[in-house]
């Protein structure tokens, strides 16, 4: 069984942050809480062997790239390029939060982390623990902490025993505050496309005027 540590997502202890950062910087795999659901991730560094391990642990098709958790809204323009103004607006309004934005990847994103169409999915989670961790080690390549096809874990105790055993460290923060996967928004020809309707209802909160363009 992999090691398990407890944390308060809003006010994380420094010793837990140091332990998690140490695992990640040693090319390790971390199971972590977020505001939406629990994730499994690694440092999004070129050639990190933990990146491949995540696909093996999750039993996920390698063709499916991993979204990145980043620390601040400004990271949208650091790791994305040619980002539409309305998408910058979305980030300013709803980050940190349960919103994932799919954008063209900048040259700061190595090829192994890009989708086949050259995009990267980015999110700033509403978790001071994760954001502090990102500021310490850099962006995290993550996916939900469950076997592919199974229900995402919304609490530390709901993470499958098999995943806990195969990860290097699991951080348990109790129930995830939102308990639902993030909403995913991208764009085609500059117009918004909702790839997944999740915790954030963009039509109600922001995109009412763009609703006819959503698909």
Report, as an integer, the average pLDDT of 105-132.
97
Q: How much is the pLDDT for 211?
A: 45
pLDDT at site 212: 43
- pLDDT for the residue 208: 53
Q: What tokens were used for 196? A: 């997944």
In tens, the pLDDT along 39-97 reads 999 999 999 999 999 999 999 888 889 999 999 999 999 999 999 998 999 999 899 99
Label each residue of the chain as H, E or C: CCEEEECCCCCCCHHHHHHHHHHHHCCCCEEECCCCCCEEEEECCCCCHHHHHHHHHHCCCCCCCCCEECCCCCHHHHHEECCCHHHHHHHHHHCCCCEEEEEEECCCCCHHHCCCCCEEEEECCCCHHHHHHHHHHCCEEEEECCCCCCCCCCCHHHCCHHHHHHCCEEEECCCCCCCCCCEEEEEECCEEEEEECCCCCHHHHCCHHHHHHCC
Mean pLDDT of the chain: 93
Summarize pLDDT for 141-184 with one digit per residue, the tens. 999 999 999 999 999 999 999 999 999 999 999 999 999 999 99
Q: Which pLDDT band, with edges at 50, 70 and 90, does 125 fall under?
A: very high
pLDDT in tens, 1-36: 589 999 999 999 999 999 999 999 999 999 999 999
Q: What is the pLDDT of residue 206?
A: 59
pLDDT at 213 over 70: no
Report how many domains make up the chain: 1
Structural domain boundaries, residue 20: 3-213
d(CA 117, CA 77): 18
Residue linked to tokens 């020809």: 189
CATH number at 54 reads 3.90.870.10
Place of tokens 């980030």: 91
- Model pTM? 0.93
**Do 70 and 123 touch, CB atoms closer than 8 A?**
yes
In whole angstroms, what is the distance from residue 62 CA to residue 165 CA?
21
């Amino acid at each position: 069984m992999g090691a398990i540590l407890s944390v308060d997502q809003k006010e994380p202890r420094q010793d837990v942050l140091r332990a998690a950062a140490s695992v990640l910087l040693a090319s390790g795999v971390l199971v972590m809480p977020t505001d939406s659901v629990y994730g499994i991730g690694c440092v999004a560094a070129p050639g990190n062997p933990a990146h491949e391990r995540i696909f093996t642990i999750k039993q996920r098709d390698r063709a499916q790239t991993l979204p990145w958790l980043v620390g601040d809204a400004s990271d949208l323009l650091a790791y994305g390029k040619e980002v539409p103004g309305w998408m910058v607006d979305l980030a300013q309004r709803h980050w940190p939060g349960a919103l994932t934005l799919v954008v063209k990847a900048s040259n700061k994103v190595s090829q192994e982390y890009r989708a086949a169409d050259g995009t990267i999915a980015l999110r700033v989670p509403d978790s001071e623990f994760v954001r502090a961790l990102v500021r310490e080690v850099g962006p995290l390549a993550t996916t939900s902490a469950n076997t592919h096809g199974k229900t995402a874990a919304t609490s530390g105790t709901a993470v499958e025993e098999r995943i806990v055993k195969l990860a290097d460290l699991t951080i348990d923060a109790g129930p995830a505050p939102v308990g639902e996967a993030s909403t995913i928004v991208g764009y085609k020809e500059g117009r918004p496309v909702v790839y997944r309707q999740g915790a954030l209802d963009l039509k109600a909160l922001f995109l009412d005027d763009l609703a006819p363009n959503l698909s």
